[in-house]
Amino acid sequence: MRHSLAPLAVALAAALALAACGRKESAEPANTIAAPAAAVAAKESLSYDEAVARAKARQAPLIVDFHAPWCYSCYFMATNVLTGPEWQAVEKKAVVVEVDADSPEGAALRAKYGVKMLPSYLVLNTAGEELGRILGEQTRAEFYPQLDKFLDAGMPLTAVAAQVRDGSPASLQAGRTVLKSWLARYDGDGGLQWFASLPAAARGALEKDSAAALLLARLKFLQARKAGDEQAALSLGRQVLAGDLGCERSYELDPYLELARKQADAKALIAAQQPAAEKLVADGVFGAAPCADKRSAVLVLADIHEALGDKAAKQALLEKAIADVEKSIGGDFRKDRNLDDNLRIYDDQLAALTGDYAAYDALMPKLIAAWPDDYVYAYRWGKSLLARGKTAEALTQLERAAGKAYGINRLQVAEQRVKALQAQQRDADARRVAAETLKANGPWFPEEAARLKDLVKA
């Protein structure tokens, strides 16, 4: 029996832009790929076009690794997962190209492929058809089976979708794969339209399958949020959160909390989610079954404590997370940048809670010294100092960051520099910084460029 694949083809070609890696931080500089410097230096640097040509010449799949220097999850993957004999085997099967999402080329590619989260690992065949994608932090045990499946099967998603016809095990497996691909593109409308186009037997079988039913609920939750239907989203969110989400719970709990805070019974709605969030932290952060992304689990539980007015519980959680990360770092900030950045955000959140920034301000010079080749930590520190009214110290760090900024982050660093200069009533210098940055930027990143222009006009 035939069913339409048109929505899938449209989504593959024309999805929208990127959402930030990590919670609570926008795609501004600060958040996931840096292995130790020596390892990065040893890698061959290919442009996307060069990698496509090489993949075609080898008749091999292409893995596009989308990352950015602010993306803490990318650092986790580079240090802990994209290493060892398994990764070496992948590099023999496929051509791998790293794409910096902050660059003009990276911005165009992430829009072309609908990349909404970093890191994203997009697998294409030699015809440019998507074989699959993997999002965010994964453990080795999660990442390699997925990737090997895409590489070994070599079947485009459109072909996988064509296998979803009935209630057979093969059809169910294909259906789960396709539903997961729609979720990976954050396209609830497209995924549900595709599902509605299936034969009745296939729809019924997927609705009865627990894994597929949870994916469908997540797509409906996403769709309701995008449509602005708060009550439907709240109901669907509770349905999703009742499922077995594992380490992905924090990613669904975060938007649910945003909706719940607006309700008259906000505390009751949020308190109902506290036990599962505490279990996730106990098991996935401090327990024997660690999640790859510990940070999101900690931050979402901290948000729950804050929403419930329990400052002491939030402070105790952050202090415990800080002690855990400091023990893992062991004073060596060059060992694992993901851990470094987790420590930074925990220190920052604790400082905002208590008003004491001593530990945060002591940490930031160490991170800048450990990772001197990019703008990230100088920018983060400068932005924090500016928010606290320390404009002179902020400018020192923001000017340091400006010397290493590029692409979209050049505009974001310039925005903070302009604000600092304006706070010092140095309007002529602020206009000069804005003009130089806009000239260097050219036609790229129009929203950020417009924001910088408006700041100077104001």
CA atoms within 13 A on the CB side of 213: 11
d(CA 2, CA 345): 51
Mean pLDDT of 16-43: 37
344 in a structural domain: no
- Residue 153 — pLDDT band, cuts 50, 70, 90? confident
pLDDT at 35 over 90: no
* pLDDT confidence of residue 297: 98
Confidence grade of residue 34 (pLDDT, cut at 50, 70, 90): very low
User: Which residues are bridge partners to 99 per DSSP?
Assistant: 66
Q: What pLDDT, on the 0 to 100 scale, is given for residue 2?
A: 27
Range 149-166 burial, b when 16+ CB lie within 10 A, else e: ebbeeebbbeebbbbbbb
Spatial separation of the C-alpha atoms in residues 36 and 446, rounded to whole Å: 34
Q: Where would I find the H helices in 272-426? A: 274-284, 294-307, 311-329, 337-354, 358-370, 376-387, 391-402, 407-423
Per-residue pLDDT at 25 exceeds 80: no
Residues 6+ apart with CB under 8 A from 206: 164, 172, 175, 176, 179, 195, 198, 212, 213, 216
In a domain, residue 87? The reply is yes
Mean pLDDT, rounded, for 324-337: 96
- 15 pLDDT band (50/70/90 cuts)? very low
The yes-or-no verdict on residue 16 having pLDDT over 50 is no
Which amino acid is present at 207?
E
Q: Does some domain include residue 56?
A: yes
DSSP state of 324: H
List beta partners, residue 204: none
The pLDDT, as a whole number, for residue 432 is: 97
- Average per-residue pLDDT for the chain: 90
Both tokens of residue 403? 């010397």
The answer to whether residue 7 is domain-embedded is yes
Query: Chain-centre distance of CA 60, in angstroms?
Result: 27
Query: In terms of residue numbers, what domain contains 92?
Result: 1-162
Note whether residue 233 is domain-resident. no
Q: How far apart are the first and last CA of the chain?
A: 61
**Amino acid letter for position 77:** M
Question: Tell me, what CATH number does 410's domain have?
Answer: 1.25.40
Q: For residue 281, which phi and psi values (nearest 5 degrees)?
A: -70, -45
Q: How many domains does the chain have?
A: 2
Residue 185 lies in a domain: no
| 148 phi and psi angles, rounded to 5 deg | -60, -35
Last residue of a domain, one of 141, 162, 183: 162
Task: Give the single-character DSSP code of 246.
Answer: G
Give backbone dihedrals phi and psi of 381, rounded to 5 degrees, phi first. -65, -45
Single residue among 162, 191, 215 that ends a domain in this structure: 162
When pLDDT is averaged across residues 229-256 and rounded to a whole number, the result is 97
Q: Which residues contact 396 (CB under 8 A, 6 or more apart)?
A: 382
Query: Is 70 exceeded by the pLDDT of residue 12?
Result: no
> CA separation (Å) from 403 to 128, 415, 419?
37, 14, 17
Q: What are the distances in angstroms from CA 361 to CA 35, 333, 417, 442?
A: 25, 15, 19, 35
Of the residues 162, 187, 212, which one is the last residue of a structural domain? Answer: 162
In this predicted structure, the answer to whether residue 10 has a pLDDT above a threshold of 50 is no
Q: What is the pLDDT of residues 39-71, one digit of tens each?
A: 333 467 899 999 999 999 999 999 999 999 999
Q: What is the CATH number of the domain that holds 119?
A: 3.40.30.10
Residue 209 lies in a domain: no
Strand arrangement, sheet containing 130-135:
95-100, 62-67, 120-124, 130-135
Contact 94, 59 (CB under 8 A): no
The whole-angstrom separation of Cα 134 and Cα 119 is 8
Is residue 54 a part of any domain in this protein? yes
**Bridge pairing between strands 120-124 and 130-135:** antiparallel
148 sits in the region (left: phi over 0; alpha: psi -120 to 50; else beta) called: alpha
| Chain centroid offset of residue 215 CA | 19
Q: What are phi and psi of 133, to 5 degrees?
A: -150, 150
Determine the pLDDT at residue 154: 87
Is 102:96 a contact under the CB 8 Å cutoff? Answer: no
- If you write DSSP's letter for every residue of 40-105 in order, what string do you get? HHHSPP--HHHHHHHHHHHT--EEEEEE-TT-HHHHHHHHHTS-HHHHHHHHHHSEEEEEETTSHH
Give the model confidence (pLDDT) of 374-424 as tens digits: 999 999 999 999 999 999 999 999 999 999 999 999 999 999 999 999 999
